[in-house]
Structure 1
Amino acid sequence: MTAVTRLNVMQPNLGEEEIAAVADVIESGWIAQGPRVAEFETRFAALVDTRNAVAVSNCTAALHLAMVVARVQPGDDVVVPSFSFVATANAPTYVGARPVFADVDPVTGNVTAETIENVLTPKTTAVIAVDQGGIPADIAGIRAVCEPRGITLVEDAACGAGSRLGNRPMGVSADIAVWSFHPRKLLTTGEGGMLTTNRQDWADRARKLREHGMSVSAAQRHQSVLAPAEQYLEVGFNYRMTDLQAAVGIVQLGRLAEMVTRRRVLAGMYQDALADVPGVRCVADPAGGRSNFQSFWIEVSAGHRNSREELLGELASAGISARRGIMAAHRHPAHAGRDHADLTVTERLTDSTLILPLFHQMTSDDLFRVVDVIRRS
């Protein structure tokens, strides 16, 4: 019997250049946050057309800092999608605010101006809009709801590097955007995150807060023979990125355009091959948007002969690692006790979607192996 070769749902696109970049950092003797982090920040800010980028240890840390620098207070309400990784809902709770769950668009899986407006309260001070799976959210429409009310718009662009809305990169139209470099994302540094904003005061404060609130950065102290005395200006955090990670990130930035192009080709192949399968709907670009297809998901409806769970089982039996679709945070114990509006679309998508394998090195043979299982199941 021939052994079944496992096909993973994703794998990072790393190679010899990243290895060499890390070796250079080790040889330099400075591996903590330093010149490579600064270079990565500068290059990333240019990529997303934003004045300031602040590198941190992960995207959740960036979300937390976004709440702090936007001065979200205990007792405030922050509108978030339940249809997102739980970190989106956790961030407001870190500062004592209440996450208020909004439903999502049935096609894109993103919150919209309408679903947000439906759940605004007099205590709403911020909204977190997610580019779910790399599908661009309608940030301009959401901003039109937030700005007149003085509500801070945070874009959770964890999955959004390389996605575009119109001719603009994601993140540029929000007050603050946050990004992830987890291995499941296109750009990876192993772990790591970024906060971007055009507000200099917010960026300056975030830089201090990521280093325990110190008045003098670790890099500045390292560059001085006689290190200046530091002060701790407020209670901060240890949310630093290392130069080892940033060196990988710098190389990854050079790969981004190629990775987006390849993923879009693969996504198009999935869409074409599954277009006539009853009960299967593929995720697609929204109007005016261009996704990086960080995740490629399908919705399995009653028209398909198998349920989502049965299809996952068929794929697993064929050695194909797919995943259940995006979680609904309001169903999990950490947030289950919270009051919320109607989340019919969120619950339907959570129960009926699954994420198919998609990664840069994936071959057409790999892809049609997945398609064949779906078509015959």
Structure 2
Amino acid sequence: MTTTTRPDAERNASPYLYGEEAAAVARVLEAGQYGHTEVTDEFERRIAAFLGVPDAVAVMSGTAALHTALLAAGVGPGDEVLVPSMTFCATVQAILATGATPRFVDIDPATLCVSAELIMDGITEATTAVMPVLFGGRGIDLSSIRGELTRRGIAVIEDAAHAFGSRVGSRRVGTSGDLTCFSFGPIKNLTCGQGGMIIPRTQEEADRARGIRLLGVVQSQAERTSTTTYTVGTFGLRYQMSGINAAIGLAQLNHVQRMEETRRDLWRAYQAALAPLNAVTVIDVDPEQSVPHLCQVRVPHRDEVFTRMREQRVGVGVHYPPNHLQPAFAEWSRPLPATEQVAGEILTLPFHQHLTPAGIDKTVTVLARCLKTVSAAA
């Protein structure tokens, strides 16, 4: 089901619907229950069942998931959270929202992800949590350091906004025993229109997350309707997911296998088409294990190539400008040589489930032409 008539190479990303979402939303609207409802509860159960975990906590966005998970893990003022600079600013803003401070760490330029070694190199006495970002959908194996992190009392909170459906070895992301946060925004692998999900480590964390997402109110919505009062037990925010958004997510869950196969096939098609371009380095997402969310390359003269490709109506983008170089986060900036190197080279190619072989061919043809023109002029 298409959402726009623009040619697929002109779009960097685009929501993909399967034809069931509108009817699912209509049923919620007809029931007259627009807030957190039993539909939200059902979405939580379905996600937990899909992953094979005891519980899942739905919230209104991926950013809300990160913020709530940090709070549920006990992160607060005076704490330090390790985080790669190469991520969307939402990751860093969630840390700051707790009163904690970010400690930026470098990445592996081949994957744009942190590694176990880089995390251990970045830890200080103030570190209470690490937030690996599963960039582009690639899972990160931290099994070699998990015992040491536990010994030091350092929580692992995965920013898996790009990685719903991906695996590390035989296990899906979200089942490693770490706190994991998914995003179900408009262009994610699975969308709710807007939404997020927290996979807690313990029942205590699940209870804390549920309290936080509903303004700290202890009673459920159903319980509050049958009493004259309610109890606020903790700090909280209005972060709950509506039944409208959950209905979209439930419809999308019926097609997870199709989504995974399509995105892997598209990434492999790009990989084959880009192979002859010697000036291009493809960022590896390991499609055998990951469900790719982005297709990114490193190219010379990136800014000029970006401009020329946009002029030729190819929807390239840049994900992301490094956070340690942003004015709002300058206080915590530190040299990150790999991040700073790739930041001027990365280019995101159109990647979404509307994409066709013709769209991939157009993108790669234009990229090759632009690289040749720019290199000749350099």
Question: Would you say 1:315 and 2:318 are equivalent positions?
Answer: no
Kept in 2: contact 1:216–1:228 (CA 8 A) = no
1:120 to 123, 127, 152: 123
Kept in 2: contact 1:154–1:174 (CA 8 A) = no
1:92, CA displacement in angstroms? 2.0
TM, length-normalised to structure 2? 0.92
Kept in 2: contact 1:182–1:192 (CA 8 A) = yes
Kept in 2: contact 1:18–1:251 (CA 8 A) = yes
Kept in 2: contact 1:176–1:197 (CA 8 A) = yes
CA RMSD of aligned residues (A): 1.8
Q: Kindly tell me: are residues 131 and 6 of structure 1, through their superposed partners in 2, closer, same or farther at Cα, counting changes over 3 Å?
A: closer
Question: Would you say 1:330 and 2:333 are equivalent positions?
Answer: no
1:148, CA displacement in angstroms? 2.5
Partner of residue 355, structure 2 = 362
Q: How does 1:151-162 map to 2 (within 5 A)?
A: 151-162=154-165
1:229, CA displacement in angstroms? 3.0
1:5, CA displacement in angstroms? 8.2
Question: Would you say 1:343 and 2:336 are equivalent positions?
Answer: yes
Distance 1:192 1:137 in 2: 23
Distance 1:338 1:189 in 2: 34
Partner of residue 14, structure 1 = 17
Partner of residue 269, structure 1 = 269
Q: Secondary structure in 1 aligned to 2:235?
A: coil
Distance 1:327 1:146 in 2: 29
Question: Would you say 1:140 and 2:134 are equivalent positions?
Answer: no
Kept in 2: contact 1:139–1:174 (CA 8 A) = no
Distance 2:291 2:204 in 1: 31
Distance 1:5 1:211 in 2: 40
Kept in 1: contact 2:9–2:363 (CA 8 A) = no
Partner of residue 86, structure 2 = 83
Question: Percent identity over the alignment?
Answer: 37
Question: Would you say 1:239 and 2:232 are equivalent positions?
Answer: no
Higher mean alpha-carbon deviation, 123-132 vs 314-323, is at: 314-323
Q: Render the CA deviation track for 1:256-275: whole Å, top value 9, x for unaligned.
A: 22111111111111111111
Partner of residue 291, structure 1 = 290
Partner of residue 304, structure 1 = none
Q: Secondary structure in 2 aligned to 1:130?
A: coil
Kept in 2: contact 1:213–1:234 (CA 8 A) = yes
Partner of residue 215, structure 1 = 218
Distance 2:7 2:34 in 1: 41
Consecutive unaligned residues in structure 1, runs of 5 or more = 302-306
1:21, CA displacement in angstroms? 0.1
Q: Secondary structure in 1 aligned to 2:158?
A: strand
Distance 1:329 1:351 in 2: 14
Residue type of the partner of 1:290? Q
TM, length-normalised to structure 1? 0.92
Q: Kindly tell me: are residues 219 and 160 of structure 1, through their superposed partners in 2, closer, same or farther at Cα, counting changes over 3 Å?
A: farther
Q: How does 1:60-75 map to 2 (within 5 A)?
A: 60-75=63-78
Question: Would you say 1:375 and 2:368 are equivalent positions?
Answer: yes
Distance 1:140 1:211 in 2: 34
Q: Render the CA deviation track for 1:16-59: whole Å, top value 9, x for unaligned.
A: 30000000111112121011100000111122222111100111
Distance 1:148 1:105 in 2: 25
Residue type of the partner of 2:219? V
Partner of residue 52, structure 1 = 55
Aligned pair count reads: 365
Kept in 2: contact 1:162–1:169 (CA 8 A) = yes
Distance 1:321 1:48 in 2: 33
Kept in 2: contact 1:93–1:99 (CA 8 A) = yes
Residue type of the partner of 2:362? R
Which consecutive aligned stretches of 4+ in structure 1 deviate over 6 angstroms post-superposition? 3-6
Q: Kindly tell me: are residues 328 and 141 of structure 1, through their superposed partners in 2, closer, same or farther at Cα, counting changes over 3 Å?
A: farther
